[in-house]
């Protein structure tokens, strides 16, 4: 099964939350107190509110709506409405994750990153499906992640200023065609 880049490692900061997409799956990405990066479906198992609207307290992620707490394994460790008891049978949807060459990778199955061409640079969103974008970029230099049904996030490597100009031109061509 395919693995995808979902964020730049340096952008996933302590006590903060990153939103991303992997195909049709919205993602919440957070770095816990252990230093490990967690990539989950951005949906609370309770009422489906985005987990990314909550807060990263280090040891746990807290949902914004009813204050459920999720530990780094995704388990629900505290439910305020149950007088603070855990609910161990409920869990966030957790994806297999790996960090390689400055990128955060994820997969719905086992995450197996592929090599990168160099330093990560400015990610570029293109409003065109990944199959079309692939025809215009060099896949050994740029990682492509489907973003929703008809969008693509390009995670390029190389010199940022130069790559930005190149990818902006590709984006214009694809979006205006």
Tokens of 152: 């693509």
Q: What is the DSSP-derived secondary structure letter of residue 141?
A: T
Write a three-state SS string for 47-108. Answer: CCCCHHHCEECCCCEECCCCCCEECCCCEEEEEHHHCCEEEEEEECCECEEEEECCEEEEEC
55 near another protein, rule: CB under 8 A: yes
**Smallest distance, another protein to C-beta of residue 176, A:** 12
Q: By CB under 8 A, name the one of 7, 22, 44, 170 that touches another protein.
A: 7
154 near another protein, rule: CB under 8 A: no
160 near another protein, rule: CB under 8 A: yes
14 near another protein, rule: CB under 8 A: yes
Q: What is the rounded CA–CA span in Å between residue 38 and residue 97?
A: 7
Q: Which is nearer to another protein, 107 or 171 (CB)?
A: 171
**Smallest distance, another protein to C-beta of residue 151, A:** 8
21 near another protein, rule: CB under 8 A: yes
């Amino acid at each position: 099964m395919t693995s995808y880049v979902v964020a730049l490692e340096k952008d996933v900061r302590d006590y903060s939350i990153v939103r991303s997409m992997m195909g049709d799956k919205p993602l919440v990405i957070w770095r816990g107190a252990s230093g490990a990066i967690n990539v989950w479906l951005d949906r609370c198992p309770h009422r489906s509110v985005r987990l990314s609207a909550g807060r990263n307290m280090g040891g746990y992620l807290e949902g914004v709506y009813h204050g459920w707490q999720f530990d780094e394994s995704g388990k629900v460790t505290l439910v305020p409405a149950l007088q603070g008891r855990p609910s161990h049978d409920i869990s966030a949807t957790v994806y297999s994750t790996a960090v390689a060459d400055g990128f955060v990778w994820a997969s719905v199955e086992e995450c197996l990153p592929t090599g990168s061409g160099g330093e990560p640079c400015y990610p570029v969103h293109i409003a065109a499906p990944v199959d079309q974008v692939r025809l215009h970029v060099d896949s050994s230099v740029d990682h492509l992640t489907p973003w929703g049904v008809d969008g693509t996030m390009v995670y390029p490597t190389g010199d940022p200023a130069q790559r930005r100009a190149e990818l902006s031109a590709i984006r214009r061509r694809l979006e205006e065609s």
